[in-house]
Amino acid sequence: MWRLLYCFPALYLFSALSLIVGLFIYLKPDKAIQFQIAFYRRINWNMQPVSMQKEVRNTKAMGLFLVVAAMAAIIAILLKSRL
């Protein structure tokens, strides 16, 4: 069990980061959208959603998917470490 824990610390790190980012996107979709708009402005692009209501809904769905995927990865890593 401990061998896998030390061999793949990056898996734990990326799974935890994905979970944190997914929770942020799901819980604060407006801030995530504003962050994305600010990023694109820095690289000289203008980005505005056509419908902010749809954008918030889609951003929340993306965040929820990321949370589920991160949790599945964490569970898979923990189950694999028990073998």
Q: Give a yes or no: residue 1 inside a domain.
A: no
Q: What is the pLDDT of residues 19-76, one digit of tens each?
A: 999 999 999 999 999 999 999 999 999 888 899 999 999 999 999 999 999 999 989 8
Instruction: Using DSSP, state whether 28 is helix, strand or coil.
Output: coil
Q: Give a yes or no: residue 65 inside a domain.
A: yes
CB 22 within 8 A of CB 67: yes
Q: Please tell me the pTM assigned to this model.
A: 0.80
Q: Give a yes or no: residue 18 inside a domain.
A: yes
Q: Give a yes or no: residue 52 inside a domain.
A: yes
Q: Give a yes or no: residue 4 inside a domain.
A: no
Q: Give a yes or no: residue 77 inside a domain.
A: yes
CB 32 within 8 A of CB 58: no
Tell which residue, 36, 54, 53, has the closest CA to residue 45. Answer: 36
Q: Give a yes or no: residue 44 inside a domain.
A: yes
Number of separate domains in the chain: 1
Q: Return the residue matching tokens 């896998």.
A: 4
Domain range for 48: 12-82
Q: How far apart are CA 29 and CA 63, in angstroms?
A: 8
